[in-house]
Chain A
């Protein structure tokens, strides 16, 4: 009885959805708080061979979901920014320092989100924003690291991202970054899991098309961290990567793993030119 009912419901939705929902990206304009004009569609970076125009995932969402991101009060992601601001000013660790002890106000982080992941010459490694935050916590503050894709980490990323909101994503892919970028690109086009899907199969070949009753975006990460309606919290890019790879029915890489760091650099570079949106609101 219950199984039949569920099947009937799914069948009804599957039949009715394409008839009543619009297809791909819309042409709406994103202006935050009535003042910050955002670039949500632009010419694809030169390195992208198969896509001519890049666009924010915002364009693939319903008007109601889009509206949640247009005003900071309506955006539930800003709750987490508030919480991170408290953390920013809280002294933690053996060095008895807060973020504010070295960096003063969070405004000092303007521009940071736009250029991460970034090569760190001193450490000789490719660093995501999360890695940089944890490096500060561990080595400057003597505090415990945040779990890579935890809510406190996503919240701190959101506080830092919001300082760069509206600035174009501009990650470097040459020089020392080049091998990481190549590794990320390799992963992007590699099919994984029982379903044998690569990132590109969904987000390059089929963006704008339906996947069940939903439609696929380009998989841009300029809006991360993202407040998702489905779990009502902020989500990190690596958390999303993990979800995507798992959905191909593959063993996933771990958030913070070298594979996902490389993938983040590559995917971020596919959004070079789009405005930093974080914290954005998605389904």
Chain B
């Protein structure tokens, strides 16, 4: 089980709810993933529209815990207000804190992120910060009251997979007791397996499932890969060698000439 701010969850896949071909396919994917947590967002509502309400009702039927995000926020003020509005709507003090610092890379503004995290934890929020793999920033986020860290492994939506394995390894070894969730950049189940083999606690992804030809099947594939990676981490993997080593014992080998 994975403990996040005192809540135990069995699934180590956190699934985003955006970009699916239809609400029905989103629901299928969430069920196939067996995810306990899905991410949601807030946007301006159109007068007379029930769009938000329809989505909210769909999420309620899925029997999952929601993790609202502050996607699209570029300042501390925007992120803090969005978090408060999300708490009002979703009745949860969990918040996936995003403060974007660059339009092209969607890289977090880590300075604003730390400041927003400090404000929000002070107001009772349980903050899940979308951050980089920078260890100093991670320390500051922990100092600010975060009990979970969510480093990217590549830019949002890039599907590149882990592009800096040494940094991720370093993060895991520096924070052995902090739940670490890789958030953003995962494109394939093998990417998720790799970060789980490094000892990360969970993976948060969206586009890799939503954009797949068969989102429900891909969700199941990710779940399998994440479980495999987690099991392998605990099983103790062998290290690579430069030279070949025969797997079949050579002792007692027949000599025919």
Say if A and B assemble together: no
